C-alpha cells in the first residue's frame, strides 16, 4: 500500500479541496474513490485509505469515508495553518 505522503501528492488541488469541503467524515463520491486509487498507484490501490462507514446509500451501496490517519493528516494541515 502506498504511503500517505504519496497519496496526498497524487491528488489534484481540486480533489483535495473537495475532500476538505466534505469534512473529516464526509462520504466520498465514486470520483474521489477513483482519485484516491489513482493517487495510490492504480485501480483499487487506494483501498485501505478509504473505509466503509457502516451506512448504505439509497441503492444499497456502501458509503466510504477516509481512513482516520489520512483524514487526520488532511484536516490537521488546515488547523496548523490557522
Percent of the chain with pLDDT over 90: 87
Query: Whole-prediction pTM value?
Result: 0.87
- Give residue 28's domain range: 4-81
Long-range contacts of 41-50 (CB under 8 A, 24+ apart): 41/2, 45/1, 45/2, 46/2, 46/7, 48/1, 49/1, 49/2, 49/4, 49/7
The pLDDT of residue 78: 60
The pLDDT of residue 82: 52
Domain count, the chain: 1
Q: How far apart are CA 70 and CA 49, in angstroms?
A: 7
How large is the average pLDDT for residues 27-54?
Answer: 95
Amino acid at each position: 500500500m502506498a504511503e500517505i505522503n504519496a497519496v496526498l501528492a497524487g491528488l489534484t488541488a481540486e480533489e483535495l479541496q473537495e475532500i476538505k469541503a466534505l469534512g473529516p467524515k464526509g462520504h466520498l463520491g465514486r470520483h474521489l474513490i477513483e482519485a484516491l486509487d489513482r493517487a495510490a498507484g492504480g485501480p483499487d490501490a487506494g483501498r485501505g485509505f478509504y473505509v466503509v462507514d457502516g451506512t448504505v446509500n439509497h441503492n444499497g451501496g456502501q458509503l466510504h469515508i477516509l481512513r482516520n490517519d489520512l483524514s487526520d493528516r488532511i484536516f490537521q494541515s488546515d488547523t496548523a495553518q490557522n
